[in-house]
Amino acid sequence: MAEQTPSTESSADAPQPPPLPAGLLRVQPAIAAIAVGWLVAVVLAFTVPGLHDWRPVTIAGLGVGVFGTSLFLWQRAAVRRGSRGAQTGLN
């Protein structure tokens, strides 16, 4: 039978990581930059004849971005109003 060794460090004594800087907690700049990138790709796909094969991919990218952003905003609103099923850390 194997012996169990007691943990030498409890979870209360474990070092806590430092909080993230405020600049890394803001998601709006990242969302805006990615949305602008997809928008540029859509414009190029519809104006440059050699890129016509990109059209479905760029439209899908915009659609997924809108869906993901909507889902994120919905979850953040749920956190702010105190919903029990909401994710944590989206303040």
> Tens digits of per-residue pLDDT, 8-46?
555 678 898 888 888 887 888 989 999 999 999 999 999
Within 8 A by CB and 6+ apart from 46, the residues are: 55
Q: 30 vs 20, 36, 59, 69, CA distance in Å?
A: 16, 10, 19, 11
Q: Where are the domains of the chain?
A: 25-81
Give pTM, 2 decimals.
Answer: 0.65
